[in-house]
Structure 1
Amino acid sequence: MQVVLLAAGQSSRFYPFNKEHKSLISVMGKSIIVHTIESINKKSGIEKFLIVTDPKNEARQILGDGSDLGVKVEYVILEKPTGMGDALLAAEKKIFDNFFLVHSYHVDFPEIVENFDLENPSDSTLFIKKEKDITGFGIVTLDGKSVTSVVEKPENSSSLSDNKIVGIYFLKKDFIPTLKKIKPEHYSFEKALDEYAKQGKLKAEVIKSDTVTLKYPWDLLGLKNYLLSHAKKSISLKASISDSAKLEGLIIVEDGAVISDNSIIKGPCFIGKNVFVGTNSLVRDGSCLEENVKVGAFMEIKNSLVMEGTTFHSGYLGDSLIGKDCKIGSQFNTANVRLDRGNVRVLVNDKKIDTGMKYLGGIVGNDVLVGGNVSVMPGVIVGDNVNIGPSTTVMKNIPPNTVFYTKFKEHVEKSRK
């Protein structure tokens, strides 16, 4: 059996972290695609992986031939990311067996296939979950376990079905001829599934566990929390931890990390290689500090992902995402909840998206420079290579490659005394 992993294309919805494929982002010291391969291999024993990627093929730099992970990895280059159908047809010549087709962020593969017969699968199967709100997802209609139709993102999905496709498919090789008969377009894969279902060849497996998705950047928080919930406590002997520091709960501390005097780490948390946590700082509740992150004194970080090489002084970071190589001044604060306690809404592609989250702070891209005393409001996105001046409150999204600051008017007059 083989696994075809989809790792091509850039998603405008994933801005500002869409310069590389989202599965290449590092969480807990490994790229997401590595977590996915490891989880699939551990659960199923499958060793053959086919990665469909774009011409840059950055996945190869991370995975190589797969030998470091105990698997065999091959690559298929998709010149233009025009949909799952084209991706699968590009891989056709290297598909020699029945196969799983998996989005490369599905680190939760083991839970999704928990009740599926991996040893002797008899039918092509897609995995579905019943949801109240399935806006923006493909859906299926069923007759028992048999799929009767597949519809990709219908305008009025609630009237058709509440069965959401979760993005993992087990397909027999005879699905390929059906796909080849469909006119090439963005949703040719879904149309082929629909035709395949009408031939009586497609079953559905209903899952009950929550699933990982990675449609928007804030979904990284859920993926991070999933990985932390499945991690084991590990404190490197090559880390330097002050005697006055307190570590509570499930915590991973990697080589070269420094945790300074009176700092508190409340798990679950991940402290990556060569991370520095300054004096009297608090890191808590699902925070991940990736390699070479520096946190100054008197900083609090809660349920946030901070990517490689970013530095802070002091302040509060809550329920936020911070990109690579940012330099952030003192008293940086993210507001992470609306005053009316409603769901945080984020402007994506000129459309306000309801995140469904009561708590969400800032989303900051790579190479951002931030002056002192800056505040970022809930759900605000800051693009790459932005300079934010001191004493600025960021109330709206900032486009990349810009300078953003609040103007102050000086007033000087002679004292009346």
Structure 2
Amino acid sequence: MKNIVLFEDAGYTNFGPLTKTRPVFELKTGIFSIRERYSKLLKDYHFYYFYRKSFDTMMSDIGLKGIEKLPDGLPFLAINARIVPNKNFLKYFEIAVNQKSIPATDENEKLLMGVFTTKSDFVDAVKKGLKTNVQPLLEVLKYPWCITNSIGESIKTDANLLDKKQFSSSKLTGVILEKKEDVFIRKSAVIKAGVVLDATEGPVIIDEGAEIMYNSVIMGPAYIGKKSKVKIGSKIYHNTSIGEVCKVGGEIESTIIHGYSNKQHEGFLGHSYIGKWCNLGADTNNSDLKNNYSFVKVEINGELIDSGSLFVGMIMGDHSKTGINTMINTGTVIGVACNVYGEGFPPRYVEDFHWGGKEKLVIYPFKRTLETARTVMERRSITLQKYEEDILKKLYLKLKQE
């Protein structure tokens, strides 16, 4: 059996604004997205995908095959994309593939993994759940902080999947390397004098075309994406992953930033997850630890969830921004296409398409939202696609109906 269906289930809603504009398997969790990691780990298998229909054109544009492309009658292994593909997963994967074991579920009878021979049985299992006694010890991502709390381990796993022949750490002038054997730099990357790359606690990966400017410090595990720029004197602490074509500066720790987003000025960003096409204004700071050292609570799906974690920063959806000197409280969720600014702390939950801050939040006109998105993207020579407009429009109409 060589066919795998990587699927998202209703659990995608627990990731707030991050999965309003992408399937859950497109979330970056380390160097790679969930999908990319699976395809590299299980490279001998044929992948198909099950996701919300609103993302059909997006997935086609990426070149992915939906489950409808899987020939009828062929057995396939369904894998919930929220499963972390660690050693426990790989053990159960071998059992499932070779012995066609009974489908595995979580404690709420939600499908995790299973072999199916018909698509209809699989779809029913995803939507309705299954009654089974098979509940293997699989790590499952349930909320955004599950990702930010495990960035370091994900980067370590992903580093082992890189083609090391494309990387080197030689011929650097005026650069300090700690544990040089775990520093991986693409030949096209530019590392300026005075930079410190410290891989003592995990690998440091600098991808192609990236630039690390003078006197910056990067402590691993850390990843700097393709064509991204780390500004002068930046402090990039452990467990940080920066996507492609980003500009970052100031102080960043235990954070994921998707591609084409900027935080290029002073200010602290910690234990946070930032979507695509975002911009944090100069001296934006977020809190990631409460002064009473209690667990952080985060609003998800209208319910205040106890994260069970001392450290939770902010979650920001695609196309959102902050003004200069913005303060963001612990466990704040900022939706898609928001603009947060003004004195004081804004609410800890900002709905999609809202502009403002502590004093007042208003819905921004959709036409002007698209104009801003187009302008931002055109500066990077990228065109806002029709399917991207449709996704944003669907979210906006849903908001207006509420």
Normalising by structure 2, we get a TM-score of: 0.73
Match of 2:232 among 262, 279, 286: 279
Match of 1:40 in 2: 42
CA drift at 1:126: 4.3
Equivalent of 1:306 in 234, 250, 257: 257
SS state at 2:66 partner: strand
User: Pairwise mapping of residues 19-168 of structure 1 onto structure 2 (< 5 A)?
Assistant: 19-28=21-30, 30-41=32-43, 45=44, 47-55=45-53, 56-57=55-56, 58-64=58-64, 74-77=65-68, 94-97=72-75, 99-108=76-85, 110-114=87-91, 117-118=94-95, 121-127=98-104, 138-139=106-107, 152=109, 167-168=112-113
Equivalent residue number for residue 159 of structure 1: none
Aligned CA distance change for structure 1 residues 329 and 179 (closer, same or farther; 3 Å): closer
Residue of structure 1 equivalent to 2:370: none
Paired residue type of 1:31? S
Which structure has the larger Rg over C-alpha atoms?
1
**Are 1:359 and 2:359 an aligned pair?**
no
1:242 alignment partner, one of 192, 207, 217:
192
Kindly indicate whether residue 221 of structure 2 is the aligned counterpart of residue 268 of structure 1.
yes
More strand per residue: 1
Q: What letter matches 1:37 in structure 2?
A: S
CA distance in 2, matches of 1:338, 1:228: 27
Q: Is the 8 A contact 1:36 1:109 kept in 2?
A: no
Alignment root-mean-square deviation, CA:
3.1
Cα distance, 1:291 vs structure 2 = 0.7
**Separation in 1 of the partners of 2:125 and 2:90?**
29
One-letter amino acid of the counterpart of residue 152, structure 1: E
Q: Is the 8 A contact 1:3 1:49 kept in 2?
A: yes
Structure with the larger helix share: 2
After superposition, the Cα gap between the structure-2 partners of 1:122 and 1:342, relative to the gap in structure 1 and judged at 3 Å, is: same
**What do the CA deviations read for 1:194-228 (whole angstroms, capped 9, x no partner)?**
4xx7xxxxxx4744xx6241x32223324533321
Q: Given the superposition, is the C-alpha separation of residues 94 and 110 from structure 1 closer, same or farther in structure 2, using an over 3 Å criterion?
A: farther
Kept after mapping to 1: 8 A contact 2:31/2:154: no
Instruction: Look up the match of 1:217.
Output: 144
C-alpha deviation, 1:389, in angstroms:
2.0
1:219/1:63 Cα in 2 relative to 1: closer, same or farther (>3 Å)?
farther
Partner of 1:226: 153
Q: Is this contact kept in 2: 1:303–1:319, CA < 8 A?
A: yes
Counterparts of 2:356 and 2:252, CA distance in 1? 24
**Worse-superposed segment, 308-317 or 105-114:** 105-114
The answer to whether the 8 Å contact 2:151/2:254 transfers is no
- Maintained 8 Å contact 1:29/1:291: no
Assess, with a 3 A threshold, how the Cα gap between structure 1 residues 117 and 282 changes in structure 2: closer, same or farther: closer
Deviation, 1:49, is 2.4
| Aligned CA distance change for structure 1 residues 397 and 238 (closer, same or farther; 3 Å) | same
Q: For structure 2, which runs of at least 5 residues remain unmatched after alignment? A: 161-181, 361-402
Report the CA distance between 1:406 and its aligned residue: 4.4
Q: Which residue of 1 aligns with 2:211?
A: 258
With 102-111 and 339-348 compared, the bigger mean Cα shift is at 102-111
C-alpha distance in structure 1 between counterparts of 2:135 and 2:303, whole Å: 34
Query: Number of residues paired by the alignment?
Result: 329
Q: Secondary structure at the match of 1:346?
A: strand
| Percent identity between the two aligned chains | 22
Q: Secondary structure in 2 aligned to 1:20?
A: coil
CA contact (8 A) 1:336 1:361 kept: yes
Contact 2:9–2:80 under 8 Å retained in 1: no
Q: Provide the rounded CA distance (Å) in 2 between the counterparts of 1:116 and 1:325.
A: 36
- For structure 1, the residue ranges without an aligned partner over 5 or more in a row are 65-73, 78-89, 129-137, 140-150, 154-164, 198-203, 409-417
Return the offset for 1:289: 0.7
Residue 52 of structure 1 aligns to which amino acid in structure 2? F
Indicate the residue corresponding to 2:366 in structure 1. none
Amino acid at match of 1:113: L
Change (3 A) 1:110 1:369: same
